[in-house]
Amino acid sequence: MGWANVDRYPDANARNVAWNTFERLADLSPAAIGADTDQFEAIPFLRFDDEAQRYFEEWREGLERKLRLASCIQLWKAIWPNIVS
């Protein structure tokens, strides 16, 4: 699947769902959702539970592998352009 130019009206329902989500997030009270602060960070933050942390780590591991592979390929292309192309 490659790139294709798409010229059509925006999906109004999707735009409205996104906009409503942004508004709810902007009005969100960190204290109301259990956000923490500590001695090092005055900005409220949330933490993953154990299950969510495992999912995040799996996702990140895959992403890091893809990024490093892409970096290696770019390096090979820069060093040996006629061989890799």
Domain spans of the chain, in order of start: 7-47, 48-85
Amino acid type, 42: A
- Residue appearing with tokens 């192309």: 85
Q: Which residue has the higher pLDDT, 16 or 80?
A: 16
What's the whole-model pTM score? Answer: 0.51
The distance of Cα 84 from the centroid of its chain, to the nearest Å, equals 30
The model's pLDDT over 29-79, given as tens digits with 9 standing for 90+, comes to 998 999 999 999 889 999 999 999 999 999 999 988 888 887 777 777 777
Amino acid type, 32: A
Q: Given this model, what pLDDT does residue 83 score?
A: 67
C-alpha R_g of the chain:
21
